[in-house]
C-alpha cells in the first residue's frame, strides 16, 4: 500500500477547514484515514502561520498592484489589517485554557458575575467558598487575559442603535423597585411575648443581658416572663398594648447579586454615609421623560427674555434723513 502524501492531504484539509471549519478528526474520518496516525500530520493552522500566510499574500498583492499614491498605500495597509483580523478569529482555546476554564470565561461574559459563572461552569462550592474560588480563578493570568481580550472584541463588534438606547431607558423606567429594596413592618418585642411581656430571642440573649447589669448599683435584672422565640419578621400583634399593633418599621435591602434584567439596570450602587447604607438607583421619572421626548409626546418651548428676566426692549431709531419736511416741522413745533 502506497504511503499517503501527508503534505498534499494537509493542504486539502486546510482548504476545507477554511470553508467549513471542520475539525481534523472529522475530516480524517470522512477521508477514511486513521486519525490516530494522521493527527501527527493533519493539524489546524496556528495563528502564527495564518498571519504569515496573510502577510505573504498581501506582499504579493502589493507588488502586483504597485500603488503609486499615498491613498493606495493606505488602502493596502487597511486591507492587510483586515486580512490579519480574518485570519486570526477570536478563540478561547488559543489561551491555553482547559475546558472548565473556557466554560467559566464564557459564563462570566454573560453577566460578569464571578460566583454565578463559577457555579454555572460546573465548579463545586457554595456561599463564600464559591466566591473565593471564583476570585482566585479570575486572578489566573491566562483567564484574566482571555476575559480582557473577549471584552475588547465585544466592544469592537457592538454597535449601539436608537432602539437599544430606548430599550435601556424603558427597562429603567419600568423596573420594579421593590426587587431592590422594601419597607417592612415586623412585630415588636412585646407583641407575642407571654402576657405581652418582653420576649427574648433565646436563653443566650437573656443571659448576656443579665451579665451586662450584674454588679451595677441600682441596675434592675432582666426578667424572662415573656418567654423566648422572638422573630422580628413576624407580623405585629394587633392587640399589642406597647406598639398598638403598628409594630417596628425597618428597611430591607435585597441581595443585588441576584438582580437580573430591568432591575439590574435600575441599580446604580451602594453608598455608605453618616446615616448608614443608602441604595442608589437610576432616576425612573427621568427615564420616562426621555422616552416621552423620544416619542414626541413632550413639546419643548423656548422663552426669550432680557437681562434678569425682564422683557426684551425693542429700540427703534429713526434718522432725520428718513423724515419728511412736515414730520420735521411737527417735531420742532413740539407736536
Backbone angles phi, psi at 200, to 5 degrees: -95, 155
252: which strand partners? Answer: 182
Q: How many other CB atoms are there within 10 angstroms of residue 2's CB atom?
A: 4
- pLDDT tens per residue across all 335 residues of the chain: 567 777 888 888 888 877 777 888 888 888 888 878 888 788 877 655 555 555 555 565 555 554 444 444 454 455 444 444 444 567 888 899 999 999 999 999 888 889 999 999 999 888 788 889 999 999 999 999 999 998 888 777 766 677 888 898 999 999 999 999 999 999 999 999 999 999 999 999 999 999 998 888 888 889 999 999 999 999 999 999 999 999 999 999 998 888 888 999 999 999 988 888 899 999 999 999 988 988 888 765 555 556 666 666 666 566 666 667 777 777 777 65
Give phi and psi for 299, each to the nearest 5. -100, 125
Give the C-alpha separation, 16 to 14, whole Å.
5
What pLDDT, in 10s, does the model give residues 193-247? 999 999 999 999 999 999 998 888 888 889 999 999 999 999 999 999 999 999 9
Round to whole Å and give the CA distance between 54 and 86: 9
**Model-level pTM?**
0.41
109's grid cell:
461574559
List the domain boundaries for the chain: 6-87, 92-157, 161-180+254-300, 184-251
User: Options 3.30.420.40, 1.10.10.1400, 3.20.20.70, 1.10.10.10; which CATH number does 92-157 get?
Assistant: 1.10.10.1400
- C-alpha dihedral, 146 to 151 to 154 to 158, nearest 10°: 180
Q: State pLDDT tens for residues 260-303.
A: 889 999 999 999 888 888 999 999 999 999 889 888 887 655 55
C-alpha distances in angstroms, 296 versus 61, 237, 286, 301, 306? Answer: 53, 52, 15, 13, 29
What gap in Å lies between CA 128 and CA 123, rounded to an integer?
A: 14
Whether 199 and 228 have beta carbons less than 8 Å apart is answered as: yes
Cα separation, 148 vs 141, whole angstroms: 11
Amino acid at each position: 500500500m502506497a504511503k499517503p502524501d501527508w503534505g498534499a492531504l494537509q493542504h486539502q484539509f486546510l482548504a476545507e477547514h477554511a470553508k467549513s471549519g471542520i475539525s481534523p478528526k472529522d475530516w480524517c474520518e470522512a477521508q477514511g484515514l486513521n486519525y490516530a496516525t494522521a493527527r501527527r500530520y493533519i493539524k489546524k493552522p496556528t495563528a502564527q502561520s495564518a498571519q504569515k500566510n496573510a502577510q505573504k499574500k498581501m506582499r504579493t498583492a502589493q507588488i502586483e498592484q504597485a500603488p503609486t499614491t499615498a491613498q493606495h498605500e493606505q488602502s493596502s495597509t487597511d486591507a492587510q489589517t483586515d486580512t490579519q483580523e480574518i485570519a486570526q478569529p477570536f478563540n478561547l482555546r488559543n489561551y491555553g485554557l482547559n475546558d472548565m476554564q473556557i466554560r467559566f470565561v464564557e459564563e462570566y461574559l454573560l453577566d460578569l458575575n464571578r460566583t454565578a459563572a463559577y457555579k454555572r461552569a460546573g465548579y463545586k462550592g457554595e456561599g463564600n467558598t464559591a466566591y473565593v474560588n471564583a476570585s482566585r480563578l479570575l486572578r489566573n493570568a491566562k483567564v484574566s487575559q482571555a476575559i480582557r481580550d473577549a471584552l475588547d472584541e465585544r466592544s469592537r463588534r457592538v454597535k449601539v442603535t436608537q432602539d437599544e438606547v430606548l430599550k435601556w431607558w424603558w427597562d429603567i423606567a419600568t423596573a420594579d423597585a421593590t426587587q431592590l429594596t422594601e419597607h417592612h413592618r415586623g412585630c415588636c418585642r412585646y407583641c407575642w411575648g407571654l402576657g405581652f411581656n418582653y420576649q427574648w430571642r433565646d436563653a443566650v440573649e437573656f443571659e448576656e443581658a443579665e451579665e451586662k447589669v450584674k454588679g451595677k448599683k441600682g441596675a434592675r435584672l432582666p426578667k424572662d416572663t415573656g418567654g423566648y422565640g422572638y422573630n422580628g419578621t413576624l407580623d405585629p400583634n394587633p392587640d399589642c398594648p406597647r406598639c398598638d399593633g403598628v409594630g417596628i418599621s425597618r428597611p430591607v435591602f435585597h441581595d443585588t447579586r441576584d438582580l437580573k434584567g430591568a432591575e439590574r439596570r435600575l441599580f446604580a450602587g451602594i453608598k455608605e454615609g453618616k446615616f448608614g447604607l443608602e441604595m442608589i438607583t437610576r432616576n425612573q421619572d427621568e427615564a420616562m421623560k426621555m422616552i416621552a421626548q423620544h416619542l414626541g409626546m413632550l413639546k419643548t418651548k423656548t422663552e426669550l427674555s432680557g437681562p434678569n428676566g425682564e422683557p426684551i426692549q425693542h429700540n427703534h431709531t429713526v434718522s432725520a434723513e428718513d423724515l419728511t419736511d412736515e414730520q420735521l416741522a411737527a417735531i420742532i413745533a413740539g407736536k
